[in-house]
Structure 1
Amino acid sequence: MGEDELTDSYADEVAASMAAEAEARLAEVVNPDEEARFASLSLIELVSSGGGPDLVGAIMVRLGEVRAALVGHGGAVVVDNSKV
């Protein structure tokens, strides 16, 4: 196995480990029904209608592993301004 192949193999292992950790972290704190509802909402429609209380949830559900890092470290998303 060459150096590049070893580097790629290690990167793949790390990525898989991070994805599994993110999934486990989110599984502890999210409501699957609410997640499905947020995922089904159109960000364009939410922004066009002034945002409302669902905008942040709809954004968060789309962040994937980044969301797990935010949740794990007490982070959040604040929408200060939005425009389509």
Structure 2
Amino acid sequence: MVLLTLMFSTGTDEVVERKAFFGSLVFETVKKDDGALGITTGVENPVPIVVLFLVLTAVLTMIQASYRGLKERREQLLDASGS
């Protein structure tokens, strides 16, 4: 999604290099010899992407653990009130 935003934020004849997501994603247009524009996209620095993946994994793991704990507590309360 970020690369699409970078791609469509450039003009038709601009030669630019744009970076996004803390410099990890790059979009570059280069004027070729025949007058056409060459486009390059890719990952320049994977560290922010890896950090995002680790943070999201940790947050989702905590949410799942909290959900399981609350579900077990609910079952305990339902068992206690039914006795």
TM over 0.5, yes or no?
Answer: no
Return the structure number with greater relative CO, CA threshold 8 A, min gap 6: 1
- TM-score computed with the length of structure 1 as normaliser: 0.34
**Which structure features the higher share of strand residues?**
2
Whichever structure has more helix as a proportion of its residues is 1
TM-score (norm 2): 0.35
Larger radius of gyration: 2
